[in-house]
Amino acid sequence: MTVNQLQDLNEKSFYHETGLRFECQRCSGCCRHSPGYVFLSPDDLSLLFSHFTLPPEGFFDLYLRIVSVGGFYRLSLCEKSNYDCIFWEDGKCIVYDKRPFQCRSFPFWQSLLVSPDTWKNGESFCPGINKGPLHAAHEIDCWVAMRASKLIIDIPPEDTGLPSAKIMDRYLKRSQTS
């Protein structure tokens, strides 16, 4: 996203004048209890992988899955049988400092920022929305722009059966952080 596009987004956004309030209430609702996907960029993959001392295929087999969504194959975190995130342990996220950008940027996601209603509807699953400190429009737009700039891994259909070590090698090489 260019600087001009960012300025455009800022000027058109419903929160341009007021900003938005958000403070995480640490309810863990966005990490647990319901099924969902956490899609990874190459940078996310690299950061998470660096947190563990596992071989690439061991890391992949324990924590990752290839999912088919909307005609694309993507790399997502696994979840437990009770739908808790695979990294949720003993009441906390065990990779918090290296969590994927999708988690880091919540709730300033484009899908929640479409209108006052979509933002307000977020209160039904995130009690932190409309609470706490005010976040200025330019800060919110930076989250949106950064999320848009993180290329989520799309795996070509013919590559979905590759050995996990090969998939890890391919996408770790695309990270800007390694």
State the DSSP code for 79.
Answer: B
Which runs of consecutive H residues, i.e. helices, occur in the chain?
3-12, 42-50, 56-63, 101-104, 116-121, 137-149, 164-172
> Closest by alpha carbon to 99, among 63, 141, 138, 72?
63
CA distance 77 to 79: 7
Using CB under 6 A as the binding rule, whether residue 93 contacts ligand SF4 is answered as no
CA distance 50 to 46: 6
Total interface residues for ligand SF4 by CB under 6 A: 11
Is the CB of 30 or the CB of 155 nearer to ligand SF4? 30
Is the CB of 63 or the CB of 108 nearer to ligand SF4? 108
And the tokens for 107?
Answer: 């709730």
CA distance 106 to 31: 11
Q: Which of 1, 16, 19, 24 binds ligand SF4 (CB under 6 A)?
A: 24
Is the CB of 42 or the CB of 128 nearer to ligand SF4? 128
Using CB under 6 A as the binding rule, whether residue 25 contacts ligand SF4 is answered as yes
Q: Which of 63, 106, 108, 119 binds ligand SF4 (CB under 6 A)?
A: 106
> Closest by alpha carbon to 151, among 50, 68, 44?
44
Using CB under 6 A as the binding rule, whether residue 100 contacts ligand SF4 is answered as no
Using CB under 6 A as the binding rule, whether residue 34 contacts ligand SF4 is answered as no
Using CB under 6 A as the binding rule, whether residue 95 contacts ligand SF4 is answered as no
Of 125-154, binders to ligand SF4 (CB under 6 A) are 126-128
Is the CB of 28 or the CB of 175 nearer to ligand SF4? 28
**What residue ranges bind ligand SF4 (CB under 6 A)?**
24-30, 106, 126-128
